[in-house]
């Protein structure tokens, strides 16, 4: 039996019947009108009685629910911004090293990649991406220059994050992979696993999915030695709870590092720090943050350079 559709007022009444305090009903109704009930209700769990997600704790307000939703929305915007900058940087480095160390059309040759099946899939995706593209430079190379497959530095500009991740990680040459990874002060194995994870993270943020308290199925290898100074910042020991390595915290540490490498003058890390400081300890722990996160070097450095509101 399907559930009957509920009006906005009925949706609000359900929340109120479960103990949610609604001080400003017109505002709450406006939020429900422009944000799906089930999108908002996904943020209720830290505010409900243990073992009963349909009963709010005494005194919990709609504003608390809305504030957490707004926090996550801003977090998605920041994460998406950083992932895009990383993507553009890796596009550039991969195209440069492939074109110079191999050949401008080396990306088409399966012998240059470890898994022929994955390579064929990536090239099929890239072909579809070029066919959908209306970029003048693609049309110029294919029509004017008669090149159905343009050089790598052209083709890479229309490739998706997932396609790039596939091509980077599947390169046969460990030397090229390490040359690219060294740009970001990382080991090539760490870099390839991280880039795969970032493609998932980017897609999650781009599709407006929740980041706060999300547990990622695709993680990455934490860098122990390159760069050595990052290790102490990760949540990597049982003391801080099993499973936290699948939450967002470690990803944010790596994004701070990558952004500082790619754009040394960026204020993105400070903006992230200020946003994190708006969340209570009870809510921030759901993102995998260790209890002493603000005492760890990478965050202390941000506080010293403008992280505190």
Note the pLDDT tens digit of each residue in 62-98. Answer: 999 999 999 999 999 999 999 999 999 999 999 999 9
State mean pLDDT over 218-228.
89
What CA–CA distance (Å, rounded) separates 243 from 240? 9
| pLDDT confidence of residue 309 | 41
| pLDDT confidence of residue 1 | 60
Going from the C-alpha of 160 to that of each of 30, 154, 170, the distances in angstroms are: 36, 13, 16
Domain assignment of residue 84, yes or no = yes
Task: Tell me the three state secondary structure of residue 184.
Answer: coil
What CA–CA distance (Å, rounded) separates 75 from 307? 15
78 & 33 share domain: no
Question: Is the separation of the CB atoms in 49 and 57 below 8 Å?
Answer: yes
Q: Which residue, 40, 60, 80, sits at the end of a domain?
A: 60
96 & 211 share domain: yes
38 & 108 share domain: no
117 & 25 share domain: no
Residue among 134, 131, 194, 135 nearest 164 (CA): 194
Domain assignment of residue 1, yes or no = no
51 & 78 share domain: no
What CA–CA distance (Å, rounded) separates 209 from 155? 29
82 & 53 share domain: no
Q: Which domain holds residue 30?
A: 8-60
Domain count, the chain: 2
Domain assignment of residue 278, yes or no = yes
Site of tokens 């470690």? 250
52 & 101 share domain: no
Q: What is the CA radius of gyration of the chain?
A: 23
Domain assignment of residue 67, yes or no = no
Going from the C-alpha of 86 to that of each of 79, 81, 128, 135, 254, the distances in angstroms are: 11, 9, 23, 22, 11
pTM of the entire structure? 0.90
Which range is least confidently modeled, 72-76, 92-96, 158-162, 256-260? 158-162
130 & 13 share domain: no
What tokens does 170 get? Answer: 């599947």
Domain assignment of residue 163, yes or no = yes
- What's the pLDDT band for 239 if we cut at 50, 70, 90? very low
153 & 254 share domain: yes
Domain assignment of residue 79, yes or no = yes
| pLDDT confidence of residue 240 | 47
| pLDDT confidence of residue 2 | 77
Question: To the nearest whole percent, how much of the chain has pLDDT over 90?
Answer: 73
152 & 233 share domain: yes
Residues, the chain: 309
238 & 117 share domain: yes
231 & 253 share domain: yes
């Amino acid at each position: 039996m399907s559930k009957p559709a509920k009006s906005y007022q009925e949706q609000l009444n359900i929340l109120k019947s479960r103990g949610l305090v609604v001080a400003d009903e017109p505002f709450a109704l406006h939020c429900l009108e422009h944000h799906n009930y089930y999108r908002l209700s996904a943020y209720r769990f830290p505010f409900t009685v243990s073992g009963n997600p349909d009963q709010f704790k005494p005194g919990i307000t709609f504003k608390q629910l809305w504030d957490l939703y707004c926090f996550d929305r801003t977090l998605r915007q920041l994460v998406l911004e950083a992932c895009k900058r990383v993507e553009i940087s890796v596009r550039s480095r991969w195209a440069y090293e492939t074109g110079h160390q191999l050949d401008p059309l080396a990306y088409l040759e399966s012998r240059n990649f470890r898994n022929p099946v994955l390579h064929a899939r990536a090239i099929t995706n890239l072909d579809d991406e070029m066919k959908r593209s209306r970029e003048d430079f693609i049309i110029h190379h294919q029509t004017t220059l008669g090149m159905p497959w343009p050089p790598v530095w052209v083709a890479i500009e229309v490739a998706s994050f997932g396609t790039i991740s596939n091509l980077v990680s599947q390169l046969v040459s460990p030397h090229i992979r390490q040359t690219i990874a060294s740009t970001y002060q990382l080991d090539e194995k760490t870099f390839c696993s991280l880039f795969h994870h970032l493609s998932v993270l980017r897609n999650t943020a781009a599709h407006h999915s929740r980041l706060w308290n999300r547990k990622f199925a695709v993680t990455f290898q934490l860098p122990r030695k390159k760069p050595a100074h990052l290790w102490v910042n990760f949540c990597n020991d049982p003391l801080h709870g099993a499973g936290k390595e699948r939450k967002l915290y470690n990803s944010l540490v790596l994004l701070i590092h990558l952004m500082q490498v790619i754009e040394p003058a960026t204020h993105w890390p400070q903006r992230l720090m200020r946003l994190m400081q708006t969340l209570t300890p009870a809510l921030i722990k759901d993102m995998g943050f260790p209890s002493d996160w603000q005492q760890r070097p990478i965050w202390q450095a941000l506080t010293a350079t403008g992280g505190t509101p």
